[in-house]
Chains A and B, each alone.
Chain A
């Protein structure tokens, strides 16, 4: 929800953020993908048109680099115990299919470079996207 509503996300209760996300899921085309290991949900990836996420443009690091109607992979969450086991890669591969089916001209993402920061990332890591054929078109440090 952060990229939809910005700083309001951190000022509201988690309950309200969840309720809004639930309403979004009920009312909209699917805003992302879920990964399952058997019946167990183990990963989440938000993939949408970038235009659905107006707060991306409020971040100087994530401003648009052109006017193409791109799609965005903007958030991951992988269940504890299932990290570093290929879940993120599976979600990215599926997101590429979704973007192609939607005739998106570009699918962009905002990963961290783990060589430059020790931070954990909800937007994935550069090495994962590189392995899957993504090309770096901008870099902000």
Chain B
């Protein structure tokens, strides 16, 4: 997967691939 993907939405969101360094972010959501 490539670089960060900026998206339009009601929130100002950034969507990024789940890379190993992003694991704490996923844990913060699902745990």
Within the complex, the shortest CB–CB distance from B21 to chain A, in Å, comes to 10
Chain B interface (Cβ < 8 Å from any Cβ of A)? 1-2, 5, 7-20, 22-23, 25-31
Name B's interface SS.
mixed
> Is the Cβ of A32 less than 8 Å from the Cβ of B15?
no
- Cα separation A102 to B19 with both chains bound (whole Å): 16
Look across to chain B and name the residue whose beta carbon is closest to the beta carbon of A37.
B11
Look across to chain B and name the residue whose beta carbon is closest to the beta carbon of A46.
B18
- Cα separation A43 to B5 with both chains bound (whole Å): 14
Chain A interface (Cβ < 8 Å from any Cβ of B)? 14, 18, 21-22, 25-26, 29-38, 41-44, 77, 79, 82, 85-87, 89-91, 93-94, 97-98, 101-102
Number of A-B contacts (CB under 8 A): 99
> Is the Cβ of A42 less than 8 Å from the Cβ of B11?
yes
Within the complex, the shortest CB–CB distance from B18 to chain A, in Å, comes to 5
- Residues from chain B with a CB closer than 8 A to the CB of A21 are 26
| CB pairs A–B below 8 angstroms (11 shown) | A25-B18, A35-B7, A43-B29, A44-B30, A77-B29, A87-B13, A89-B7, A89-B9, A90-B8, A90-B11, A94-B15
Within the complex, the shortest CB–CB distance from B10 to chain A, in Å, comes to 4
- Cα separation A34 to B10 with both chains bound (whole Å): 16
Contacts A36-B25, A85-B10, A102-B1 known; list 11 others, CB within 8 Å: A18-B30, A18-B31, A25-B23, A33-B1, A36-B13, A42-B11, A86-B10, A87-B9, A87-B11, A90-B7, A98-B2
